[in-house]
Chain A
């Protein structure tokens, strides 16, 4: 299987499931192209709904359909489906407990130079703070496949954030360890625990390789399940390390770093550093340029680990 964008993998899983489950419905807000959902709309027109550029309507309609027995998957840019539709996510989906899987595509700074209006650096914070809302940031297409194969069958609300482009895989077609709502230990070490989510997991894994060459051993935890966060995995990783680093494509406030810090402070207090986007509009550039500028790279993470360990 060729390496594909996570959003494309979501569409493939939905198309496979829709063959037998006629209650699966994909909804878009003039976003089928950017969501890689055009093949679904073409193959299953009777299970697809277009709402136009109206994200509140998108989520409200998805919730109403779910209430009548559909399994709905509204797909729209992460910045809009979480911020413009926030109240619908809160009231119509989570509070009303409707079976809606909110798919946020081109999340984080995927849209690069399009600017802050199109970046979603607040979505983990806002969605995680809604009671009953699960939040997932898969790291590569193989993990996305495993995650979606569970989500197309369950009946609870969730928000899934994926990026715009294909990313190098963390796992492989034949070897993708996955247990629902349990973090994946990518590697285990004793000096530093690096806990990451989404596209940052690959950089954390590469950072561990760089650190190994310098005699530093790292644990890398893929916390794709940001909520419900795998608390036991955080405690295990942190307890066995001297310092903890969290890495995310998100604001430094209210995201993975905040949650990891809470758990570490309460259970196994030690130095805990959040690596994230700044609390400011990010510098103009494509996502790789933005990541590099803010040190959200293998080199940046490794450097931070060295600083923390050796001062």
Chain B
């Protein structure tokens, strides 16, 4: 597990480089969700370059599609494409590495970017996999600001109605969105009560940037029967550097040279300490 924690810091540096080279990107949410993605792709999910084009693999939807840079960094580490290629081509003219996930790229199943789409799609995948009598599981990561979209709750109702215990959602609860705090923009709390009332098994992950806590939660989700599970992953937006942490202005922001150096040092330090 120690290596995965270090990997999360290393991949954060890839994200920063991608955003600096591409001159844009949603850096704050990339940093908050990175530990969730690393846990999913390197511990929890059965997805690999070898099985991705077969019927035998788990499914992943990045519903908060604007955090695509973190997904690119993880998929490159998984071997779906080269790290050098994505660092060089992200957001460049004619590139497939656009600012939201698209399934022309290997390793990505569904296009996203318009918020509130991922959960209904994941519900559909989970229903289909159950029809197929498959053991494949379905995972979807949503932003917390995204939960203001009504379609999320349509999907939540359907997931519980169909008792989809092969479905696990994660809310990246970093409490910030582009205009400010989620509670100021459109209050979300009590999220545990809301998802519970919708019929989901809810796991509150106290530190959603802690890979050990996340893996424990995913383990619990696997044994829950008769209902889908949602992890409320309490994360820190901009996690990894004091320059960015808990600052709404870093929802999307390109670091200047000075900020870049500070972030780089902070991420190296974070990797060493873990």
B122 beta carbon closer than 8 Å to chain A: yes
B131 beta carbon closer than 8 Å to chain A: yes
- Complex interface bits, A33-64 against B, C-beta within 8 A gives 1, otherwise 0: 00000000000001101011010110111111
B129 beta carbon closer than 8 Å to chain A: yes
Whether A91 pairs with B125 at a CB distance below 8 angstroms is: no
Checking A47, A59, A64, A95 against B125 with a beta-carbon cut-off of 8 angstroms, the contacting residue is A64
Q: A56-B154, A57-B154, A68-B59 are in contact. Are A92 and B103 (CB under 8 A)?
A: no
Q: Main secondary structure on chain A at its contact with chain B?
A: helix
A52 to B156 CA separation, bound complex (whole angstroms): 12
B151 beta carbon closer than 8 Å to chain A: yes
A97 to B131 CA separation, bound complex (whole angstroms): 22
A61 to B150 CA separation, bound complex (whole angstroms): 15
A69 beta carbon closer than 8 Å to chain B: yes
Whether A57 pairs with B123 at a CB distance below 8 angstroms is: yes
- Complex interface bits, B94-114 against A, C-beta within 8 A gives 1, otherwise 0: 000000001100000111111
Interface size class of A (residues with CB under 8 A): 20 to 34
- Complex interface bits, A68-104 against B, C-beta within 8 A gives 1, otherwise 0: 1110100000000000000110011001111000000
Q: A63-B110, A65-B128 are in contact. Are A57 and B158 (CB under 8 A)?
A: yes
In the bound complex, residues from chain A placing their C-beta under 8 Å from that of B125 are 64-65, 67-68
A251 to B116 CA separation, bound complex (whole angstroms): 30
Whether B103 pairs with A60 at a CB distance below 8 angstroms is: no
In the bound complex, residues from chain A placing their C-beta under 8 Å from that of B150 are 56
A68 to B110 CA separation, bound complex (whole angstroms): 11
- Give residues of chain B (151-171) contacting chain A, Cβ–Cβ below 8 Å: 151, 154-155, 157-158, 161
CB of A42, distance to nearest CB on chain B (Å): 18
Whether B110 pairs with A46 at a CB distance below 8 angstroms is: no
Checking A49, A68, A72, A91 against B114 with a beta-carbon cut-off of 8 angstroms, the contacting residue is A91
A69 to B59 CA separation, bound complex (whole angstroms): 13
In the bound complex, residues from chain A placing their C-beta under 8 Å from that of B151 are 56-57, 60, 88
Whether B114 pairs with A61 at a CB distance below 8 angstroms is: no
CB of A82, distance to nearest CB on chain B (Å): 16
For B122, B129, B131, the residue with the greatest tally of chain A CB atoms inside 10 Å of its CB is B131
A64 nearest CB neighbor, chain B only? B124
A47 to B111 CA separation, bound complex (whole angstroms): 25
B120 beta carbon closer than 8 Å to chain A: yes
B132 beta carbon closer than 8 Å to chain A: yes
Whether B111 pairs with A60 at a CB distance below 8 angstroms is: no
Checking B55, B117, B157 against A92 with a beta-carbon cut-off of 8 angstroms, the contacting residue is B117
Whether B117 pairs with A57 at a CB distance below 8 angstroms is: no
Whether A69 pairs with B158 at a CB distance below 8 angstroms is: no
Whether A91 pairs with B113 at a CB distance below 8 angstroms is: yes
Whether A62 pairs with B132 at a CB distance below 8 angstroms is: no
B162 nearest CB neighbor, chain A only? A49
Whether B121 pairs with A60 at a CB distance below 8 angstroms is: yes
A25 to B120 CA separation, bound complex (whole angstroms): 16
A49 nearest CB neighbor, chain B only? B127
A91 to B110 CA separation, bound complex (whole angstroms): 9
For A49, A61, A64, A96, the residue with the greatest tally of chain B CB atoms inside 10 Å of its CB is A64
B138 nearest CB neighbor, chain A only? A64
Whether A60 pairs with B128 at a CB distance below 8 angstroms is: no
A47 to B68 CA separation, bound complex (whole angstroms): 34
For A52, A61, A66, the residue with the greatest tally of chain B CB atoms inside 10 Å of its CB is A61
A67 to B61 CA separation, bound complex (whole angstroms): 11
- Complex interface bits, B56-75 against A, C-beta within 8 A gives 1, otherwise 0: 00010000000000000000
Q: A46-B131, A65-B128, A69-B128 are in contact. Are A92 and B158 (CB under 8 A)?
A: no
In the bound complex, residues from chain B placing their C-beta under 8 Å from that of A95 are 102, 111
Q: A69-B132, A87-B114, A91-B111 are in contact. Are A64 and B158 (CB under 8 A)?
A: no
Interface residues of A, Cβ cutoff 8 Å to B: 25, 46-47, 49, 51-52, 54, 56-57, 59-70, 72, 87-88, 91-92, 95-98
Q: Which 8 A-B pairs have the closest CB atoms?
A: A64-B124, A60-B120, A61-B124, A57-B154, A64-B121, A68-B128, A54-B154, A65-B128
Q: List 7 A-B contacts (CB under 8 A).
A: A46-B131, A64-B123, A65-B125, A67-B110, A68-B124, A88-B117, A92-B121
Beyond the given pairs A51-B154, A57-B151, 20 more chain A to chain B contacts, judged by CB atoms under 8 angstroms and listed by A's residue number, are A46-B131, A52-B158, A59-B120, A60-B120, A61-B158, A63-B110, A63-B124, A64-B110, A65-B125, A65-B127, A67-B59, A67-B124, A68-B128, A70-B128, A87-B114, A88-B117, A91-B112, A96-B103, A96-B110, A96-B111
